[in-house]
Chain A
Amino acid sequence: MLDFSEMMLQERQLLSSESSELAGKLRVIAGEQGVSASPVDRLATCRDYWPMGSLWFLEGKAPALPDLVVWPADTAQVAAVLALAGEHGVPVTPYGEGSGALGGAIPLRGGIVLDLKRMNQVRELDGENLMVTVECGLNGALYEEHLNRRGFTGGHIPQSIRCSTVGGWLACRAAGQFSSRYGKIEDMVVALEAVLPDGTVFSGRRVPRTATGPRLDHLFIGSEGALGVITAATLRIWPCPEERSLLSFAFAGLEEGLEAARLIIRAGARPAVVRLYDYAETGHHFPEVKEAGGRCMLILLIEGDRRLAAAETQMAREAALAHGGVDTGCGPVEHWLERRFNISLASKLFRQGAVVDTIEVSSTWTGAAPLYRAMQEAMLAVEGTALASGHYSHVYPEGAALYMTLCGFPPGEKADYYKRIWSAAMETCLSLGGAISHHHGIGLHRGLWMEQEHGGAGLEALRRVKQALDPGAIMNPGKLGLEEALEWRK
């Protein structure tokens, strides 16, 4: 039924006798309903939302199949599965909701896909101390819903909130749309519970801060399944904001908008949302705002305590006006709030044969505008590119995240084009001192530039950490640039 030759990245598979023996042992751990060798379940977990997965899907191909899918019900089952996999030397790929954008959840070497979605309980909500402890497989929107119903917010609203898990956020060092106020996911971690590849379970302490040596649990933030499994997390929460104010300003160019944003943050204001669009995206997202024609739109959403929000609103307005921003009111922000989860255009474009993707990087304020220009130029220079536009999506006192969107109709092989345009973007980013990822992570694909990002010594140190924790190399092999993926090279 499933043709191995159509699996574009598959490096290995178990023999069917090995698979059935292993399945029997796994059923003892996770129960009858907790293990599947069905082609239907294996095919369903062969990919994530990495665009190559969609492109291959359209051609009737798939990245790589696991041999078995396992749904652990609790941390003890995760530990037992990892210990068993270690004994058999079988790879394990943790799987959340498969919204990852870089192929991180593809089981390149077959083995076990560990689908964590049945671990979805909220263990404890501690309103007094503003912490919540949840299991890793909880869906993001349901996490936020649980908090909202009780008067809190998690402050983490990625565009994928409806289709990603809390564990996936942590594993990828994700960023929500409101991160300029609440921080990226790594800023929200109080403590993690994780299972090491040999089945050892450990938990960080649920205390505000520690000076007790390096925090092993924090090592798992951004570990993308390569060091073990994050089974639960204690995260910071906030009381639901009392006040919200929406502002937008149109600037003559990106530089002016960036300068306004920089000064707002520098002065200590923390708008939750700060997004600055280039000319093309301003035209695309806000065609009805006349004053924004031929300008760059900055949208700001400020929320929190009434008094603080009022002060921040005033600070933001002053900075924006001082840099030539034309006040375009709350309408554009309302429009963004309404449309921010609508990604239907991507599906339509894929169906029509386009290659579509997003590339998020980060840089200091000094480098922010040059990085945008250079990346756009490099990407447009790749034959077949129809569009390379961008916006700054998150800001910090030291700099900003740049989010580029690309769309191409390549003349030849799509995979070739895909690698070419990514190379253009990544090499440019590296040469200008940007970080190759701000929040989507490394996964499979971006591993190709991991050594350039960290330097040989940096990556080698990370490999040693991996070797120490996972000597059998069972955890999500071929990812994070720690090892070469045989079928996906530059």
Chain B
Amino acid sequence: MAEVNRKRLLECALCPNMCRCECPVAQAAGREAVAPSGKARLAHLLLEGRLPWSEAALEALSACLGCRGCTLLCPFPELALDDELLAARRNAAAAGICLPAAAPFDHNLKKYGSPYGSRGGPAAAKYGDGEVLYFTGCTAAANHPAAAGAALALFEQAGVSYQTIDEYCCGYPAETWGGETLARQLAAENRARIAKSGARRLVTGCPECRYTFTRRYTEWGAALPLPVVDSAGFFLELVREGRLKPRALEGAGPVTYHDPCLAARLEEKWEEPRILLGFIPGLSLAEAACAKRSTRCCGGGRMLQLTFPALSEAIAKRRLAEFPAGAAVVTACPFCRENLAAGGGAVLDLAELLARACL
């Protein structure tokens, strides 16, 4: 994994937090230590050896969602502060300091290959030789298997030749908590199974999995031999080909689409889900105040719903307040679904909504 770019980190440390209004952590916590430049300053002092690593320091550096809200306003085009913080945090692990709140989940990850304990695949698991490999992801499997169930039911309906595998966590949580070796092990397990499957495409509804597969697996020596596709885009393909035929939803009020931050800012995918929703006859889409590339994170990025539950919930509540009143929230990320629901929102996964319209 890349080392900290000390020059970029230092320039951020010297910035008066020009992006803090877009940092959900800074705004919900109101703490200088977790404001973007606050974290950069702390990281700089730790890396300079001016401060010893401590749990408190690691905790502050870990209070980052990886949501890239900061990059919307940052004048340094090459800086991705979340990546620099991720790299800085690996030095804590090397110094023997771990994030206490992550310990039980890290333990699960090592023991079961999932931070949530046993690795449960989707209810409708189908091993075999399908062309499309559906990857559920551990967060979706643990919190809301219904969404994966809906996705696979749609596959059945559309006659997609698909299969599932005995998944391991993609490695995103391990990377988040500084466990590079573990992340590589998990990647190797998945890579072996995916390669063996012979599938031609991997489809997943989890942006964190996609991010890890496409942006990390190569550097972890586990480059995948097939393209990784987001489920919204895949469903859109099926609808366009006439293989799925959405009908009007009885009594459905307006919906709003919450753009998952990784999908919107790193994959630049915000049109497909909207076009897809547009295929559901009569469905009215009301946009949230900050949408598409300017979306704001639900609070679940970088596993904060596990390690900083109170902060994460506060961020979710702030985000929920930005949705149009009375609109049902639809999203396409298991972290967003879970976290916005925990914040008190009525949230549906895109696959579930589509399944209601198609099945």
Contacts and interface: CB of A to CB of B under 8 A. Distances in A.
Contacts of B11: 344, 347-348, 351
Contacts of A141: 21
Nearest to A164: B16
A97 B37 CA distance: 11
Interface residues of B, number: 38
B289 A149 contact: yes
Interface in A1-26: 1-2
B285 interface: no
B42 interface: yes
A342 interface: yes
A342 B33 contact: no
A44 interface: yes
Contacts of B27: 120, 139, 142
Nearest to A42: B33
A332 B51 CA distance: 46
A98 B33 CA distance: 12
B30 A120 contact: yes
A38 interface: yes
Interface string B280-292: 0000000001000
Contacts of A40: 33, 42, 54, 56-57, 59-60
A343 B289 contact: no
A contact residues, range: 35 or more
B14 A350 contact: yes
A12 B318 CA distance: 39
A39 interface: yes
A69 B29 CA distance: 13
B21 A162 contact: yes
A39 B38 CA distance: 13
Contact of A57 (B14, B52, B59, B60): B14
B73 A98 contact: no
B92 to A, nearest CB: 13
Nearest to B27: A139
B125 interface: no
A351 B16 contact: no
Given A117-B30, A142-B27, A344-B75, A99 B38 contact: no
B73 A44 contact: no
Contact of B56 (A38, A69, A139): A38
Contacts of B73: 162, 341
B241 interface: no
Given A39-B56, A137-B30, A344 B21 contact: no
Interface in A175-213: none
Contacts of A346: 14
Given A60-B50, A162-B73, A41 B20 contact: no
Interface in A160-180: 160-163
Contacts of A348: 11
A414 interface: no
A58 B30 CA distance: 25
A163 B54 contact: no
A343 to B, nearest CB: 7
Which among A33, A137, A163, A344 has the highest number of chain B CB atoms within 10 Å? A163
A54 B30 contact: no
A97 B20 contact: yes
B15 interface: yes
A97 B23 CA distance: 13
B14 A351 contact: yes
A463 to B, nearest CB: 31
B32 interface: yes
Interface string B24-51: 0001001111010010011001001011
B31 A71 contact: yes
B226 to A, nearest CB: 40
A45 B17 CA distance: 13
Interface string A119-150: 01000000000000000010111100100010
Contacts of A57: 13-14, 41
Interface in A41-87: 41, 43-45, 49, 54, 57-58, 60, 69, 71
Contacts of A344: 11, 15, 75-76
A365 B11 CA distance: 38
Contacts of A95: 32
Given A97-B20, A163-B17, A347-B14, A115 B32 contact: yes
A161 B73 CA distance: 12
B33 A41 contact: yes
A418 B341 CA distance: 53
Contact of B16 (A2, A69, A163): A163
A351 B310 CA distance: 36
Contact of B21 (A41, A43, A140, A343): A140
A218 interface: no
Interface string A245-268: 000000000000000000000000
Interface in A298-355: 341-344, 346-348, 350-351
B19 interface: yes
Contacts of B38: 44
B75 A41 contact: no
Given A60-B48, A60-B50, A163 B20 contact: yes
Contacts of B310: 33
Contacts of B22: 162
A163 B42 CA distance: 18
A420 interface: no
A344 B73 CA distance: 11
B10 interface: yes
A41 B31 contact: yes
Contacts of B30: 71, 115, 117-118, 120, 137
Nearest to A105: B32
A336 B322 CA distance: 30
Given A44-B32, A351-B7, A139 B52 contact: no
Contact of A60 (B18, B33, B45, B75): B45
Given A40-B57, A142-B21, A344-B75, 13 more contacts: A39-B54, A39-B56, A44-B41, A57-B14, A57-B41, A58-B14, A71-B31, A117-B31, A120-B27, A161-B21, A162-B73, A163-B17, A341-B73
Interface of A: 1-2, 33, 38-41, 43-45, 49, 54, 57-58, 60, 69, 71, 95, 97-99, 115, 117-118, 120, 137, 139-142, 145, 149, 160-163, 341-344, 346-348, 350-351
19 contacts: A39-B56, A41-B33, A44-B35, A44-B41, A44-B42, A60-B50, A71-B30, A98-B32, A99-B16, A139-B27, A162-B19, A162-B20, A162-B73, A163-B16, A343-B15, A343-B16, A344-B11, A347-B11, A347-B15
